[in-house]
Amino acid sequence: METALRIRTFVRRISENISALLRSRSVPWKIALVYAVVGVTWLLCEHYLLGGLAALKDILYLLASALLLYKISEYWVGVIRRQEIELGSIRERIRIVEHFRQMFEQNEEPILLFEPGTARIQDANPAAEALYGYTRQEMTVKGPSLFVVPVELPELEKRISGIDEHRRLVLDRVRHIRRDGENIIVSVRGKSIRLLEGGSISYCTFRDVTERIRMENEAITRQAQLIHASRMAALGTIVSGVAHEINNPNNLIMFNAPMIGKAWRDAEPVLEKFHQENGDFLLGGLPFSEMREIVPKLVDGISGGSARIRNIVGTLKEFARQDTRKQDCRVSANDVVKNAAAILNHEITKKCRNFRVSYDESDPAVQGCSQQLEQVVVNLIMNSLQALRDKNRAIRISTSFDRREGKTGICVEDEGEGMSEDVIKRLSEPFFSTRSEEGGLGLGLSISFSIIKEHGGTIEYRSEAGKGTAARIILPAAPESLEHQCRKSEVRILR
């Protein structure tokens, strides 16, 4: 009876412990308890009749084996849980990497990834392939040399190689070349990104800002044109006042010089008779025999000089006048060149002894504004004059007409210093000047390009350093329907 009581007490305590353990969340404990309960129940049933001690011995043995089973289960459950945690971490990393890859691939911003501390391309997204026209494989094999201007390549590689966690890359305007040869301007931003698995990578974006720069340049050009127009209006007012002051005394000269000439012609026979009867005599400090040859030339020179003053003043007034007419008039290319050369006559005489002009006999015409076109030709001639190294070098101007293409051309060639290809590509940029030290603002050609573009034409440059430059204006020929429409309103060309 006593043995049975002990067994019942022992079983009750085990049951309480089992209940407590079952309420816990320990998987190894649950495995061991299930094993122990089943085993104890079986042993009690099997050995109850054999005696309590034998049963107790077996129970202790069973509990020891259950504890061992618990330890083994605990170890393997821990291993499985660690593997599950690691697997979850791997899955999370894969998800992050895939998320980054999708962002990289679908980003509309061209992106290039570089090896840290170098300029070797590791990867390129589709936007970068579309921007430059090269495949990802081509860019990873050949690197930035595919699209960077050779002269700028060393500096760019140096800047990219210098990217680290403390230094970023910021380049606002860099000139690159697409596969098709088109020049583009890009804005570059670069930074170092730390990777999950350790290490880092240089992340660079290349944004095409060509269109933005073009619009900015157009805005600057428009502003410069407004400033120029304002100055020309002020100049027109000044020139009108000066012209009035010059024309008044010049009119006296123009009217009186012919009268002096007529008076000389009337007096010459009388003076000649006196000379024959009395011999040579002084007239104005010179012998009459010389004066009779000189005076007619002097009178003609006075009349010619006065006429030239009138023409120059008239041309300046027309050039400086604020033109409000639309660009729908028939303008003679020959007259445009003649007026431009007349305006610059003094500069041409001072700087060039070999100035030649050839006009197309068909007198080609264009549709537009004569004042603006003269402004362009004046600017081209001035540039050629400034490029001459000495007065003996030549400047040649010619007009032409291509009937088949329907194009009118004005070409200004010089034997000056010439320009490099890089300079030619920047001629249309506002405020770009090769003579900034001499006071050049860099607006003349920018405005000229804009004027010719508004007239539907182009300015083409051909130059070689040290051998001279040829600037050719190509404009659509004026349609015949404009001939009668504009002749009435066109200002008279002063020659």
pLDDT by residue for the chain (495 residues), tens digit each?
A: 555 565 566 556 666 665 665 555 555 666 666 666 666 666 666 555 455 556 566 666 677 777 777 778 777 877 788 888 888 777 777 777 777 778 878 888 899 999 888 889 989 999 999 999 999 899 988 889 899 888 888 888 889 988 888 888 899 888 899 998 888 999 999 998 887 677 888 989 999 998 888 888 777 777 776 776 666 666 666 767 777 778 788 888 888 888 888 888 888 888 888 888 888 888 878 888 888 888 888 888 888 888 878 777 776 666 656 555 556 788 899 999 998 888 888 888 888 988 999 999 888 889 888 878 888 898 899 888 988 888 888 899 999 998 888 899 999 999 888 887 777 777 766 655 665 455 444 556 777 888 888 888 998 988 887 788 899 999 998 887 665 444 433 333 333
pLDDT score at 59: 65
- For residues 7 and 75, membership in a common domain is answered with yes
303, 304, 305, 311: CA torsion to nearest 10: 110
The token pair at 390 is 């000495």
The predicted model scores a pTM of: 0.46
d(CA 274, CA 283) in angstroms, rounded, equals 12
- For residues 122 and 233, membership in a common domain is answered with no
d(CA 185, CA 214) in angstroms, rounded, equals 10
* 59 in Cβ contact with 47 (< 8 Å): no
DSSP string, 360-399: -TT--EEEE-HHHHHHHHHHHHHHHHHH-SSTTSEEEEEE
Pick from 180, 208, 236: which residue ends a domain?
208
- For residues 368 and 488, membership in a common domain is answered with yes
> Looking at residue 279, what DSSP letter applies?
-
83's CB contacts (< 8 A; 6+ apart) are none
d(CA 327, CA 372) in angstroms, rounded, equals 9
d(CA 182, CA 180) in angstroms, rounded, equals 6
- For residues 402 and 420, membership in a common domain is answered with yes
- For residues 176 and 314, membership in a common domain is answered with no
Find, among 140, 297, 115, the residue nearest to 200 by Cα: 115
- For residues 287 and 307, membership in a common domain is answered with yes
Question: How do 354-358 and 394-402 pair as beta strands?
Answer: parallel
d(CA 181, CA 197) in angstroms, rounded, equals 40
CATH number for the domain including 350?
3.30.565.10
- For residues 300 and 412, membership in a common domain is answered with no
The token pair at 434 is 């090769």
Residue 290, classed as helix, strand or coil, is: helix
The token pair at 387 is 């490029």
* 158 in Cβ contact with 112 (< 8 Å): no
d(CA 477, CA 491) in angstroms, rounded, equals 20
d(CA 65, CA 43) in angstroms, rounded, equals 14
The token pair at 200 is 């880092």
> What letter represents residue 115's amino acid?
E
> Looking at residue 48, what DSSP letter applies?
G
38's CB contacts (< 8 A; 6+ apart) are none
Find, among 269, 266, 263, the residue nearest to 288 by Cα: 269
> Looking at residue 431, what DSSP letter applies?
T
Query: What domain range is 171 assigned to?
Result: 108-208
- For residues 399 and 474, membership in a common domain is answered with yes
CATH number for the domain including 131?
3.30.450.20
d(CA 313, CA 334) in angstroms, rounded, equals 20
Pick from 77, 102, 127: which residue ends a domain?
102
Find, among 361, 368, 347, 362, the residue nearest to 479 by Cα: 368
Pick from 301, 322, 343: which residue ends a domain?
322
* 201 in Cβ contact with 160 (< 8 Å): no
Structurally, the chain folds into a number of domains equal to: 4
- For residues 279 and 392, membership in a common domain is answered with no
d(CA 285, CA 295) in angstroms, rounded, equals 13
Q: Where are the alpha helices (DSSP H) in 288-361?
A: 288-320, 333-343, 345-351
- For residues 201 and 240, membership in a common domain is answered with no
pLDDT score at 420: 78
User: Mutual orientation of helices 444-454 and 370-387 as an angle, nearest 10°?
Assistant: 140
pLDDT score at 387: 86
- Based on its alpha-carbon atoms, the radius of gyration of the chain, rounded to whole angstroms, reads 49
- For residues 313 and 259, membership in a common domain is answered with yes
The order of strands in the sheet holding 354-358 is: 354-358, 394-402, 407-414, 468-476, 458-464
- For residues 78 and 156, membership in a common domain is answered with no
